[in-house]
Structure 1
Amino acid sequence: MPSGLMALLDDVAAIAKLAASSIDDVAGATGKASAKAAGVVIDDAAVTPRYVTGLSPARELPVIAKIARGSLKNKLLFILPGAMALSAFAPWALTPLLMIGGSYLCFEAAEKVAESFLPHHDAGGEAQQFSDPAELEEASVSGAIRTDFILSAEIMAIALGTLSGEPLLDQAIALLAVAVVITAGVYGVVGLIVKMDDIGLKMASGGSGARRALGRGLVHAMPRILAVMGPVGTAAMLWVGGGILVHGMEHFHITALPHAIHAIAESAGRAAPFAQGAVEWIVSAGASAILGLAVGAVIVAAVIGIGRLRGKSAH
């Protein structure tokens, strides 16, 4: 009987170790997948605050909460099942789909670059089209959720691409964790950004001198932070989109450009041995961003050309 009990305890210990190992594997896969999707996450966080422009301050956080719920619904009810079906039945299609998504990222980023030099529609004017605040809020939420669906699909596809060697159940759990963590992180940051000026005003209205100074600093800093977020998000999209295309080329044995990028990055790293890894990453990311901008510019030019041929505005 004692030997039977010891055997049972050994089995329980083995199962516990296996479970712990699986949890570690899933946690590692989740972290890796989230890191790979960082560029799109940054852009998501940069894009969303514009959807609360024109709304009353009291409605900003409730609207962000509505968008976050819609985002989580997009990921869990539509994108996650589609991603798992793709992984189970057509894993060969993942790289081409990732390259299509990467090209779309490059297109979006190149379009934003073009808009900084060309006349374009003023998003703030949209608020003037609605006399009813509830109607404006509903339109803002609907528009944000539609945009989020595209960005969420890109995030989940990139995350799935990093999990291709994992068991199917681990992929599903990791993607579920990515969906929840990224949604909470993005919209938590968005909520903080949107209300930061209000927090600064409250701090500046009373308390110690240091508290008031910090509050005034927040109020003055927020316009600069919001101004920087857009270009940072665009650069991140170019880096991620271009990187996806480079990896896709390697997958299909189109190696001339990827090898050239790796060689340039390694040479730059050897020239700066005190920070070799960081320099190699910066050069590689920069080269990927340049490729992304070039690909995106070609797509933008094609879209504009098609629009003109159809006699429509290219916007």
Structure 2
Amino acid sequence: MLDWTDRHYRYFARTMSANTLLYTEMVTTGAIIHGSGDYLAYNEEEHPIALQLGGSNPADLAHCAKLAAERGYDEVNINVGCPSDRVQNGRFGACLMAEPELVAESVDAMKQVVDIPVTVKTRIGIDDQDSYEFLTRFIGMVSAKGCTDFTIHARKAWLQGLSPKENREIPPLDYDRVYQLKRDFPQLNIGINGGITSLEQAKIHLQHVDGVMVGREAYQNPYILAQVDQQLFNSNAPVLSREDVIEKMVPYIEKHLQQGGRLNHITRHMIGLFQGLPGSRSWRRFLSENAHKQGAGIEVVRGAIDLMNANKPAVDPELER
């Protein structure tokens, strides 16, 4: 979710769900340790929030985990699932599935310096190393060093020959393998990820595993988050309308603009809010064409709403009866 789940998106997501655990985009240990920016910045409203780390040096991972704990993160997660060439060249992401000893050593180093959970996100296999035995060996070795929480993307990753986008779509999903993993490791918290596009699907998965991670759908169709608390966390809070969500974002947007930020830093994450509804194309187009302009303010968001409402198809009164 690089360049997607930044702090602006996470604040936006939090307006719709108070309970969903939010993950940062993957941040490399090198960026945190040697970069000039603050790669650990987040909004206090984002809790509960997990820092997702990319790296393979146990000492560096431990150092970054300690920094994350000191900054108040609720969890630190090691990414062992990203298949991109850039990630492989840095010796982290999915290629680390072939080095369970190193991942286990990293978990151990991190757990020695923090009290917050240290978790792992991984795949069911890589390249031709895709047997169930390969997966259980990896889980067994890493859990032996104290990792009790795993999120499993239910596809293997082809590290050569497929792009990251293709790796999210071409290798077939194997949910049953993740279910079997939970049966064989009942003492572990096993979450599932990959191809999940509705809360109804999430409910089915939760009959077999402990958690569900939703990535692309929660970004491209973010309003899926609006009923998570009610349907999955037994919350009695009212479900916000899409217009309510926008109103909750207004103070955040205005503060960002006052601090010198640009409107599209935030609204680019809101493009899919009306996904699938009449007039949504007008909303997307107006924001895309105007939010990036110098001086663009909250009036652009208001204008996008007005245009969307104006372009909704008329409803035949006879059909309403």
* TM-score (norm. length: structure 1): 0.24
Q: Which has the higher contact order (CA 8 A, sep 6+)?
A: 1
Kindly indicate which of the two structures has a greater share of residues assigned to strand: 2
* TM-score (norm. length: structure 2): 0.24
Kindly indicate which of the two structures has a greater share of residues assigned to helix: 1
Higher Rg:
1
